Structure 1
Amino acid sequence: MENQRGPADQQLLDLLDEQLTEFTSGAAVVLGDRASCSVMLRLDGGVRRSASSDPLAAACDEVELAVDEGPCLDALETGLVMLVDDLDTEDRWPAWTRTARAAGFRSSGGFPVHLRSEAAVAVNVYRPGPGPWDRDSLVRADVYAQQLGRVVDLCLDLREANGQRHALEDALAAQASIDQAVGAIMATKHCDASAAFAMLIAAARDGRSDLSDVAVQILEALVERRPGGEL
């Protein structure tokens, strides 16, 4: 599913697509009225269709993205529910409306999803029959949308946890390089750890480089230097 408006981590997008596709596969049972649904996601500056319960719903949302107007996009941007009681009389989003009618839908609703993260999600619910949304249908669709939001939050939590893990691994690797460089300086300059660390700091300051980068350079020089030479 193509990213329409910007880059995002591909592994995360694949995870979201997989989980949301599985979630939406049961839309007709959960929502009733032989309903279909499609999910739009805004993440890292990009808006995309992430999942759909069937090809007809997917086609409608793809048109909505292509013309940049429709109930799901409006729900995504405003945080408000966008209801269409009868597609035969709907005139707010002409291209999307024509596509939805041609697909056999007669009413729909765009439902925003409340998330804990910086992402935004909305769900388009399509129904084959016209008529106003009664209270039971609205509650069922909204609960469905918010349950879907929990799936998105869990996926985003996983990305954050992985990011923290990678940051910790990078920090530990940098510290290991610094410790090894201090040891190398002690061995070649015949000084104690405090003096060696001071030399490392001075080299980083003079070169306007990170301490860990200078440490790596020193270790590389140690490997490459000739026997009996100095760093």
Structure 2
Amino acid sequence: MQELLRELSRVALAERSLEEVLGEITSLATRGVPGAEATSITLVRDDKAFTAAYDGEMALAADELQYEQGYGPCMDAGRGGVVLRVDDVHTEERWPEYVARVRATPVRSSLSVPLPYQGATIGALNIYSTRVAAFATPESLAAGLDVAETIAVAVANADAHWRLGEQARNMGLAMQSRAVIEQAKGVLMAQRHVNADQAFEILREASQRYNRKLRDIAQGIVEGTQQR
């Protein structure tokens, strides 16, 4: 666990996509649980579950089968905050529609552990194996719990960092759009001898008429002026 903590502390967040960061975290999780052959991170937002990252196609395939059915161990672990272990999909009786389909994949056993963060559950760490009862030992269960608790903080931090970056990018785009619209209004005011409100109304009507974004109409006016 100390080595996992050290490696997680070295995961770079800057100038990387959320998918890249979570992919690296998931790969580290695979190495931290005895018996793990593939892992994935399921995040739950607005009661909707999705695979944010995975290490091994087997994990992604099993996750997606659960999303199609609307239930399964990883979804229930992420939503309910409970640890769910499947020792053998061929004898498992819970989630009948899911296990009936997952039997066609290499998955034979799995362990789904909730990701706890600040008193809530943000998703689940899903661990898969091609062997029967790969996670039935106390060591595997303890490692799964420790790894999930450890990476939950890293996942939450990576998600928060990405959201802040998106907000900054969106704000920058909004400011650029406003600047272009103001420039276009200035051009129209000079060319058509109208006031600011009338210039904006011309832009709005053109946007509706041509079914184009207001910013694109404004950009076209500004660029047309610069080319003259």
Query: Which TM-score tier does this pair reach, normalised by the shorter chain?
Result: 0.5 to 0.7
Q: What are the superposed Cα offsets for residues 176-227 of structure 1, whole Å, 9 maximum, x if unpaired?
A: 21332343345445x6xxx5312322213433556544432332342456xx
Task: Quote the residue 1:112 is aligned against.
Answer: 114
Aligned-partner Cα distance in 2 for 1:128–1:122: 16
Alignment of 1:185-224 (within 5 A): 185-189=188-192, 196-207=195-206, 209=208, 212-223=215-226
Aligned-partner Cα distance in 2 for 1:223–1:12: 38
Deviates more, 1:210-219 or 1:58-67: 58-67
- What amino acid maps onto 1:64 in structure 2? A
**TM value normalised by structure 2:** 0.59
Kindly state the Cα deviation for residue 144 of structure 1 after the two structures are TM-superposed: 2.2
Aligned-partner Cα distance in 2 for 1:139–1:148: 14
Kindly state the Cα deviation for residue 145 of structure 1 after the two structures are TM-superposed: 0.9
Alignment of 1:23-38 (within 5 A): 23-25=29-31, 27-28=32-33, 34-36=34-36, 38=39
Task: Indicate whether 1:145 and 2:148 are aligned.
Answer: yes
For the residue of structure 2 that corresponds to 1:91, the secondary structure is coil
Task: Indicate whether 1:18 and 2:21 are aligned.
Answer: no
Q: Give ranges in structure 2 of 5+ residues lacking alignment.
A: 1-15, 94-98
For the residue of structure 2 that corresponds to 1:149, the secondary structure is helix
CA contact under 8 A between 1:64 and 1:96: conserved in structure 2? no
CA contact under 8 A between 1:72 and 1:124: conserved in structure 2? no
CA contact under 8 A between 1:87 and 1:130: conserved in structure 2? no
Aligned-partner Cα distance in 2 for 1:48–1:110: 13
CA contact under 8 A between 2:44 and 2:78: conserved in structure 1? no
- What amino acid maps onto 2:160 in structure 1? D
| Matched length | 192
For the residue of structure 1 that corresponds to 2:195, the secondary structure is helix
Summarize the Cα distance change of 1:217–1:161 in structure 2 as closer, same or farther, 3 Å threshold: same
Task: Quote the residue 1:64 is aligned against.
Answer: 62
- RMSD of aligned alpha carbons: 4.3
Query: Identity of counterpart residues, as a percentage?
Result: 19
CA contact under 8 A between 2:78 and 2:124: conserved in structure 1? yes
**TM value normalised by structure 1:** 0.59
CA contact under 8 A between 2:115 and 2:148: conserved in structure 1? yes
Q: Give ranges in structure 1 of 5+ residues lacking alignment.
A: 1-9, 29-33, 53-57, 226-231
